[in-house]
Amino acid sequence: MPVLTHSIDGDVATIVLDNPPQNRFAPEFTQELSDSVDAITRSPARAVVLRAEGPDFSYGGDFRPWVDADRTGLRADFDLAMAAINRFEQLPLPVVAAVQGLCFGGGFELALRADIILAAESARFGHPEQSLGIVTLLGGIHRVAERAGRARAFEWALTSEQVPASTMADAGVINRVVPDDELRTEAEAFARKIAQGPTRAHVVHKALLRAWATGGIPAADQHLFDLAVPLFETEDVKDGLASAAKALKEGRPRPVLPFKGR
């Protein structure tokens, strides 16, 4: 049975962690995530929802095989998992994560690769790795630091405390807290809304934020026009500029356009 599935419904793709109740990353996870990224990249999808079945989002990796694993094998497995999750993070589409229940370890690290994180009011986040004597293995601590600062990131990694969604929102780690029974609806509605926007512009903003994360403002500035100027050749920009110019000339509000993503 797969531990992760994907589907595509028009402009929105969905990736589902489907190994409840804990949705742990079994050995199949890496290949299934990679296959999902391949399928979504080839599809007409213009936004992605990441969600999970069951009461909890994910407890992360299944650490039981690590007990007797040799160091070389572990490194190879971690390299493959990191490559797959990095490809997911770099999808050229906006990704919205919907998090419920417990979101721990690798599950938290996967959610952090989304561009927008919506969490249910009862959701809790945490790094349980220190209780095993290890560290966040998929880039979790430094991605929390990018969003919330070094002090918070280190405190949460040191303590493995279960951090409420409201605290994560206040710290800037997640975007929004919603009622538990509205989480999936809110996430899907948000994804469908941004899927109707200028997809290629969304992708450029995502790339600029990635450049900023790795090299700061100078790096993002350096890439800015190489990424932004080609947008002026797209249908969306040509239609948008012509429509806005016409509305301004006629003294009326700028119309909302049905962007095509091309």
pLDDT in tens, 80-106: 999 999 999 999 999 999 999 999 999
Residue-level pLDDT, tens digit, the chain, 262 residues: 789 999 999 999 999 999 999 999 988 999 999 999 999 999 999 999 999 999 999 999 887 877 888 889 889 988 999 999 999 999 999 999 999 999 999 999 999 999 999 999 999 999 988 888 888 888 999 999 999 999 999 999 999 999 999 999 999 999 999 999 999 999 999 999 999 999 999 999 999 999 999 999 999 999 999 999 999 999 999 988 898 889 888 888 888 878 888 8
Backbone angles phi, psi at 226, to 5 degrees: -60, -35
Dihedral (CA of 27, 31, 34, 39) sign: negative
Structure-block tokens of residue 233? 């050749």
Cis amide prior to 179 (ω within 30 degrees): no
What is the DSSP code (8-state) at residue 253?
P
What is the DSSP code (8-state) at residue 99?
E
